[in-house]
Structure formats: C-alpha cells, structure tokens
C-alpha cells in the first residue's frame, strides 16, 4: 500500500521528498508519490508539516 498526497494540503515545501528513502516522490504542486517505488515506510507522512500525506486505503 502506497501513500498519497492531498493536493489541497500540499504547499510544495519538499520535506516529504527529502525524507523518502526510496526516492519515490517527485516535485510538483502537489508533489507526487510513485506507487511503484513507494516502500510504505511512512517517512514522508511523519515529516509533512501540513499532514498532507496519508496511506492509500
């Protein structure tokens, strides 16, 4: 299961991209998580200051 970025909450700060050990996050507005690369570690979600990242259910 991958994580997803909520476009309404993402401000493009890049914290998630810097925290991702799998390099699964691409820059953009909002940033984008590549589900094929995501290892579901949650590092991005715990780093996001806006709580814009959550697991895909």
Check residue 28 and give its pLDDT. Answer: 86
Number of domains forming the structure of the chain: 1
Full residue range of the structural domain in which residue 37 is found: 3-55
Q: Are the beta carbons of 6 and 56 closer than 8 angstroms?
A: no
pTM of the model: 0.88
Whether 1 shows a pLDDT value over 80: the answer reads no
Check residue 57 and give its pLDDT. Answer: 77
Query: H or E element: which one contains 25?
Result: strand 25-26
Average pLDDT taken over every residue of the chain = 94
Average pLDDT over residues 30-51: 95
Q: CATH number for the domain including 48? A: 3.30.70.20
Q: How far apart are CA 9 and CA 1, in angstroms?
A: 21
Return the higher-pLDDT residue of 51 and 2.
51
Q: What is the DSSP letter of 40?
A: -
């Amino acid at each position: 299961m991958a994580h997803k970025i909520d476009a309404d909450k993402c401000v493009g700060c890049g914290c998630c991209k810097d925290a991702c050990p799998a390099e699964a996050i691409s820059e953009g507005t909002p940033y984008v998580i590549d589900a094929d690369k995501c290892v579901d570690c949650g590092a991005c979600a715990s780093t996001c200051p806006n709580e814009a990242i959550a697991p895909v259910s």
